[in-house]
Amino acid sequence: MAINEFYIQQFKQYLLFEKSLSKKTAEAYIHDVCLLCEYIGGQSVLTVTEEDIHKFILCFNERDYAATTQARLISGIRAFFRFLVLENVVDTNPALLVDLPKLGKYLPTVLSIPEIDAIIRAVDLSVPEGHRNKAMIEMLYGCGLRVSELVNLRLSRIHEEEGYIDVVGKGDKERLVPVGHTALKALQQYTEGQRLHLKIKKGCEDIVFLNRRGGQLTREMIFTIVKKLVKAAGINKNVSPHTFRHSFATHLIEGGADLRAVQEMLGHESISTTEIYTHIDREYIREEMALHHPRY
């Protein structure tokens, strides 16, 4: 239905230019709304009721879709109708009272400091990309970067003397993150070594981490590199590039860092997102008591 396509496009523009969401996030919201439109067929989205949305979500429930998937769908649809209310297109948000499925408490995988060290030792520095791989791990863990932030890191945004990097995060929001001497040293060994000998592709001159052909590394390539290093280190955990970010935050909290400071470094919009790491810290404390307290 043409009217549905019109409002979906309007919603997309709103997400990108008024809410400043990334293209990837905006597309995820649009995907959720398109699924609803497919479900209602030729019906106009302007006539969708709370009952329609309940039935739509029930379809995913019956297909055994994860609770997190269902919750994301409801959130996306709520955001769409909230936009229509703001634009005075509809009077009420039919998704507002649709209950989100209960989600179990999720605590992310965290690496211990010895495990981080083992992964870094597993890097083969005798191969051309060795120092690059070591620098990537040091930056992921040393600065708590998202993988997208790592692949888009610019040489011009590394302020070595001041000891910080300028990171462009979600929604193109910039933040300053301190960087330690260990990570800076690994970065210097790479940029002043292997990287100098690459034939860099046009447009990638300022990109820090490059592949063998002088092009920008992809997220998938970094996932592959991390998986190989974790295996080489003999670690039997489900580790991704994001695990280093979780470990960065957890080790800071365990060391007594202020929660607000960690929030700033991670680029979290809400402090509640950062508070997950206090739960991890409490679990760590409980495990320590279980191990060492004679009456536990």
Q: Are 190 and 134 in contact (CB under 8 A)?
A: yes
Which residues participate in catalysis according to the annotation?
146, 170, 242, 245, 268, 277
CA distance 26 to 31: 9
CB-based burial, 106-135: b 16+ in 10 Å, e otherwise: eebebbeeebbebbbebbeeeeebbbbbbb
Q: Regarding beta strands 174-178 and 164-168, do their DSSP bridges make them parallel or antiparallel, or are they unpaired?
A: antiparallel
Q: Are 45 and 36 in contact (CB under 8 A)?
A: yes
What are the two backbone dihedrals, phi and then psi, of residue 159, each rounded to the nearest 5 degrees? -110, 85
Query: Both tokens of residue 296?
Result: 């536990």
CA end-to-end distance (rounded Å), the chain: 64
Closest CA to 223 of 244, 207, 206: 244
